[in-house]
Amino acid sequence: MKPNESSITSLISAFGRAYHSQYDTPLIFNDYIARELIAPQEFEQIREQMVKGIHFFNPEMADIVKEDPDQILKWITQVQLSPIALSRAAYCEQVLLHEVTLGARQYVILGAGMDTFALRTPELSDSLNIFEVDHPATQQFKIDRLNWADLSIPSNLHFVPMDFTHEFSYENLTNRGFRNQKTFFSLLGVTYYLTKEVLSNLMMHAFANLPSGSSIVLDAADERLFEEKGMFNRVENMVKLAAVGGEPMQSCFTYSEIERMLVDAGLLIYEHLSPEDIQERYFSNRTDDLSAFETIHFIHAVKK
């Protein structure tokens, strides 16, 4: 991963959350801070590039609404960019807050990017330590952005530079205050890009020494990932874009495969949301183009 690639990826993700918070209704996930991390010029540049991308995502729409860039941007964000990110963030934070009531005292965000949870929950500053784990280049970009936006880093937020996809290091965590106590992990938007062997090793190392009741929320693609086209070919487009971007998607799972991998790491699936479940919980009765992404599942797994 090149430094500029990590920053661009995290900026585009923040753009999707910021757009949703500002323009969509009702809100699935309200990241009202994301907009502050994007410079006005960058916001406009991303907007322009996405509008130009309509020829890739939907050539027919490009001809119909070529004089209405706002409508094009809305369509791309609602159909392609935002559905997975918004719903998995909403689910993850819902589970996390419940786990905090059950005694979780640490939250480890694997692949944190431009996550803003710590900034949005000052009420948890005395009860929950948050560890953002990410590639050093991505993390430095995030820190620079917080300083640029004049956003104070909460006392309970700890940055842990680590390429956890190559080697998960508890030493890096403990050096920043991590303790052997009930912990909640999130792994969002990552599993698709790892081999099954790497993902399995990550799960085993992450939970090897943690107490019972520690848990994780992750999203994963099912076995249809590389054959399903999806609405407006959006699943196929997602796979193609990842390959063109130099970070091809590598893994998809049957339910039994991911269940077995988690059991090997000492975890049991507590809750599993299929695309149909996600549609019902987060997208039902909407009148816009936001809908649950085909092939994508959410899982909450708990250590035995």
Tell me, what's the pLDDT at 1?
A: 47
Domain edges within the chain: 3-81, 87-303
CB 190 within 8 Å of CB 111: yes
**Preceding peptide of 83 cis, ω within 30°:** no
- CATH 3.40.50.150, applies to 87-303: yes
pTM: 0.95
Dihedrals phi, psi of 263, to nearest 5 degrees: -60, -40
Average pLDDT of the residues in 40-69: 88
Dihedrals phi, psi of 134, to nearest 5 degrees: -165, 170
pLDDT exceeds cutoff 90 at 245: no
Chain mean position to CA 235? 17
Per-residue pLDDT tens over the stretch 70-114: 999 999 999 999 999 999 999 999 999 999 999 999 999 999 999
CA distance 78 to 24: 9
CB 225 within 8 Å of CB 195: no
Strands 157-161 and 129-134: parallel
CA distance 178 to 238: 35
Counting residues of the chain whose pLDDT is more than 70, the rounded percentage is 97
**212 CB-contact burial (10 Å; exposed 0-12 / middle 13-18 / buried 19+):** exposed
DSSP letter, residue 37: G
pLDDT exceeds cutoff 90 at 225: yes
Per-residue pLDDT tens over the stretch 278-296: 999 999 999 999 999 999 9
Dihedrals phi, psi of 169, to nearest 5 degrees: -115, 115
DSSP letter, residue 282: I
CB 156 within 8 Å of CB 128: yes
Tell me, what's the pLDDT at 3?
A: 47
Beta bridge partners of 300: 217, 271
Residue 110 tokens, joined: 């694997």
Give the residue among 171, 138, 103, 148 at the shortest CA–CA distance from 247. 138
For residue 187, give the amino acid letter: L
Instruction: Average the pLDDT over each of 17-26, 61-70, 147-156, 199-208 and give the range with the smallest value.
Output: 61-70
Per-residue pLDDT tens over the stretch 107-158: 999 999 999 999 999 999 999 999 999 999 999 999 999 999 999 999 999 9
